[in-house]
Structure 1
Amino acid sequence: MDLHWLKPLLGRPAPFTTVYLDVTRADVAGEAEAADRWRAVRRSLEREGAPAAVLDEIGELVAVPTGVKGPHGRVVVADAEGVRVDRVLSEPPAQPLAVFGPAPALLPAVRAAEETVDYVLVEVDRNGADLTWHTGDAGRTGDGSDVEHVEGGHDDVHKVKEGALSRRTQTRAEDSWERNAEAVAATLARRVAERAPDLVILTGDVRAVGLVRDEVDQHVREVLVEVPGGARGEGVKRDAFGAKVADALDAFRNRRREAVLARFREGQGRGGGTVTAMDDVIDVLRRGQVDELVLHESTLASGLADTELWVGPEPLQVGTSGADLDALGVGEDARRRLPAGVALVRAALGQDAGVTFAEDGSVELVDGIGAVLRWSDGSTPSESVPTQSADQRRLRNVV
């Protein structure tokens, strides 16, 4: 999972103000409810000592509707100088969360981000297509304002009943469909290369869908799924089609998560390429070896929530004790203690690693934590976890 949007928090001055809020606005009453939710959160942050200027800035942001339809949330993180992260969440939080302190509340943001899928909905007919972009970036939320219209330019697209016109006219219409599909495919290839969505959802006129699908290049085809029931223009059963899109997004999330967990299981099976247990994960994080951090979902409520780690000014300076920081050359005046979840995610961000949450029992994780590695050498810890073990602890060999 890509967490580049959290990188602006690295190296920023404390204290941090973190807000998770349900910003759903279905109607005028919804706007009032959203405003009430923010006022309650603001009062809580004021009691904790959050700066008025920062709260004013956050309030101005959340007062502007995202334009997203249906239930959704928003995470805003500010440092001592102002807002650094503003992200729309595909699911609203069950309860508002407001935290003011020496570190941002990162784990809920990462968990919410795992549900986010950046995608483009491509609704085609025989004249062209509408491309609607849905992203997790506030201000580019796929609310219908971020729509591109592609017109093929070949307007002889209508066949008539057999015998009314010559076969030549019908062939000309089919040729126009193909040329228009080529124009859509060319535009889609260019825009996908520029914006790199996770998923391309193709829908619309059945014949046009087939023509566009056959014309797209390989890098579009790799992220393309077809979802029937949509159309360019009116006449779509929005609720039914929306449910199909939601199913396609859920399927993608499951594939994305399972791809990481499959790599983890494979590495465990061969005794290399993965590590588990807190000490070993910290070791490989310090060395910049981590490609994907893997956490049990239960660690959100326990384990990491109850543990603190020592960190230095740089993201990869992390350890379980002050002695670990001594070994890294970090003096006492430059070190601090952070919640383990924050420290680990911070280190992952510092090496452009992703974070994946695994259902408990889906993979064997000692201490609820593991990592898939980019590379290994002779000093990298190697372990295998027995599939039947009373205490579920690892068998560890340093190779």
Structure 2
Amino acid sequence: MGVVMRLSFLEPLYVESGPFASVYLDTSRDVEHPDRALARRWHRLRADLARQGADAALLGALEDAVGSDAGVPGSHGQAVFAAGGALVLDGELPRPPARDSAVYGPLPDAMPLVAQHLPEIPYLAVVVHYGGPPTATAHGWVTMEAEAGSWPASSVEPGPRLHHHVRVSDWHHSSVRLGHALDDRARRAHADLVVVAGDEWAGNVLVRRLPHALRDKVVRARGPTPTDTGRALLEPQLRTLLQGRLAGHDRDLVNVFIGRRALGGPATEGLADTVAALQRGQVEALLLNRPPPPSLRLWTGPRATEVALAEADLHAFGVRAPHEEPADEALVRALVGTRAELTVVPEAVLPLDGGVGALLRYSDSGRIWYDGPASLTRRG
């Protein structure tokens, strides 16, 4: 099973009481005069936040953080959140946002950040280069580099890459030893797949000598394979290979949901029933076909579980002054506050009533439910 996508990295946002400034902007470095372009973008967003009521201290905290990812090359973006005159969270976006935005309101606008980091697919990237004569001879050499990471966040495991420089005459023998080293790295990363690129002959030798369980996860990648770009190894190829692919754990969630829905197990579907389950802290994993549209609103109270379709529902729970907020902001807060998961599942894979469903921690009847080997499990 792959690494579980938790939302614990958002917890600092919900320690603060707000109001929050949520900023999304394109901080790409692959444009002409990137610093000048970023300054123009931020100037517009800063003015927009000031019109919405953000004070000078809050704007100053944001300004100090905007562009702090200048050392990251290529196309990307930044998500920055501040409250109470201080920076609360600064996150890298693997892709630039569809449009720059700045929102000042009671809850942080975290869904675009979450959506860009779903699904997190753990992988092992391996690049094999052959250097020497046009045909493999004893006078050449083979270089192998490998790195574990997760996509689409382009985050990589801490520590150095695996790097080995081997004579061609030793490559067949060394590949067995290197295969075990790769297997160990892949197991520690819970890698769903192994992406192998570079020289075809040297790569084939290595793949044939991998342990069987790892060999079954191999995907071959084509195209240029530079290893000194300052970015994740094989990042351009990963987008092509992994776009639209579900992580292993997300596939398990889908299978469990389908099974429970068919057999009447602890699962729910549709916005009304899912919100009711969130009120009870009952949701283990929320499944969405797509993030909610901006027009969809929910009512919220001070606590994460105080979320409802109607203001009267919260009054019935004793909430004195509910607020109507965008549904995506309310849902993310409820998930973080109840330590639930979130995954975005394409409608072609699993169409959901109203685009939303949930796996539940328990059934209302108290029935114990067993899903078999694919049962939903929790990692730290």
Alignment TM class, shorter chain as reference: 0.7 to 0.9
Q: Return the alpha-carbon distance in structure 2 between the equivalents of residues 338 and 175 of structure 1.
A: 62
Q: Residues 374 and 224 (structure 1 numbering): CA distance in 2 closer, same or farther, change over 3 Å?
A: farther
Q: Which amino acid aligns with 1:44?
A: D
Is the deviation greater in 7-16 or in 366-375?
Answer: 366-375
Compute the displacement of 1:37 (Å): 0.7
Residue 6 of structure 1 and its aligned partner are, at CA, apart by 1.6
Counterpart position of 2:136: none
Q: 2:306 aligns with which of 283, 308, 317?
A: 317
Q: 1:290 aligns with which of 283, 287, 290?
A: 283
1:43 pairs, out of 32, 43, 47, with 47
Q: Confirm or deny: 8 A CA contact 2:301 2:323 kept in the other structure.
A: yes
Secondary structure at the residue paired with 1:63?
coil
Which among 258, 269, 272 is matched to residue 265 of structure 2? 272
Amino acid at match of 1:246: R
Name the amino acid aligned to 1:114: L
Given that residues 301 and 319 in structure 2 are in contact (C-alpha distance below 8 angstroms), is that contact kept between their aligned partners in structure 1? no
In the TM superposition, 1:121-140 aligns within 5 A as: 121-125=125-129, 126-131=142-147, 133=149
Q: CA offsets, 1:143-176, max 9 Å, x none?
A: xx988343447x5x233xxxxxxxxxxxx55323
CA displacement 1:42-68 (0-9 Å, x = unmatched): 111122222323322322222234544
Whether contact under 8 Å (2:192, 2:247) holds in the other structure is: no
Structure 1 residues 149 and 72, CA gap change in structure 2 (3 angstroms): closer
| Structure with more contact order per residue of length (Cα contacts < 8 Å, sep ≥ 6) | 2
Distance (whole Å) between structure 2 residues aligned to residue 185 and residue 211 of structure 1: 16
Q: Contact 1:309 / 1:318 at 8 angstroms: preserved in 2?
A: yes
Deviations 1:193-218 (A, max 9, x none): 2x656654332344554565544695
Whether the 8 Å contact between 1:88 and 1:136 is mirrored in structure 2 is: no
Is the CA contact (8 Å cut-off) linking 1:277 and 1:367 kept in structure 2? yes
Residue of structure 2 aligned with 1:178, choices 171, 176, 179: 176
Alignment of 1:245-260 (within 5 A): 245-253=238-246, 260=253
Partner of 2:373: none
How much has 1:347 moved relative to structure 2? 1.5
Counterparts in 2 of 1:60 and 1:197: CA distance versus 1, 3 Å: farther
Residue pair 1:124, 1:208 contacting (<8 A) in 2 also:
yes
Report Cα offsets for 1:235-259 as digits up to 9, x if no partner.
x9xxxx7664322121534877665
Q: Which has the larger radius of gyration?
A: 1
CA distance in 1, matches of 2:178, 2:225: 16
How far is the alpha carbon of 1:102 from its aligned partner?
Answer: 0.8
> CA contact under 8 A between 1:312 and 1:325: conserved in structure 2?
no
Contact 1:90–1:115 (CA<8 Å) still a contact in 2? no
Q: How does 1:1-399 map to 2 (within 5 A)?
A: 1-114=5-118, 117=121, 119-125=123-129, 126-131=142-147, 133=149, 148-152=160-164, 155=166, 157-159=167-169, 174-186=172-184, 188-189=185-186, 193=188, 200-206=194-200, 208-210=202-204, 213=207, 214-215=209-210, 225-229=219-223, 231=225, 244-253=237-246, 260-297=253-290, 299-302=292-295, 305=296, 307-313=297-303, 315-320=304-309, 324-325=313-314, 332=320, 336-358=323-345, 363=350, 365-378=352-365
Distance in 1 separating the partners of 2:251 and 2:178: 37
SS of corresponding position for 2:66 = helix
TM-score, normalised on structure 2?
Answer: 0.74
The structure in which a higher percent of residues are helix is 1
Amino acid at match of 2:79: V
Cα gap change, 1:48/1:268 in structure 2, threshold over 3 Å: closer, same or farther?
Answer: same
Q: CA offset at residue 228 of structure 1?
A: 4.0
- Name whichever of 3-12 and 35-44 sits farther off: 3-12
Distance 1:116 1:318 in 2: 27
Which residue number in structure 2 is paired with residue 394 of structure 1?
A: none
1:358-397 residue CA offsets vs partner (Å, 9 max, x unmatched): 55676554444321223324169xxxxxxxxxxxxxxxxx
Partners in 1 of 2:217 and 2:280 — Cα distance? 33
TM-aligned CA distance change 1:158 to 1:352, over 3 Å: same
Asked whether the equivalents of residues 119 and 201 of structure 1 are also in contact (C-alpha less than 8 Å), the reply is yes
What SS is found at the alignment partner of 2:292? helix
Q: CA deviation at 1:180?
A: 4.2
Q: 1:121 to 1:31 in 2, by over 3 A?
A: farther
Flag the 1:208–1:362 CA change in 2: closer, same or farther, 3 A: closer
Query: CA 1:217–1:53 in structure 2 vs 1: closer, same or farther (change >3 Å)?
Result: farther
> What is the percentage of aligned positions where both structures have the same residue?
27
CA–CA distance in 2 between the matches of 1:347 and 1:217?
42
**C-alpha separation in 2, matches of 1:204 and 1:364:** 39
In the alignment, the residues of structure 1 paired with residue 198 and residue 348 of structure 2 have an alpha-carbon distance, to the nearest angstrom, of 40
C-alpha separation between the residues in 1 aligned to 2:284 and 2:265?
14
- Superposed displacement of residue 232, structure 1: 6.6
| TM-score normalised by length of structure 1 | 0.71
Between the aligned partners of 1:375 and 1:57, the Cα distance in structure 2 is 43
Unaligned 5+ runs, structure 2: 130-141, 368-380
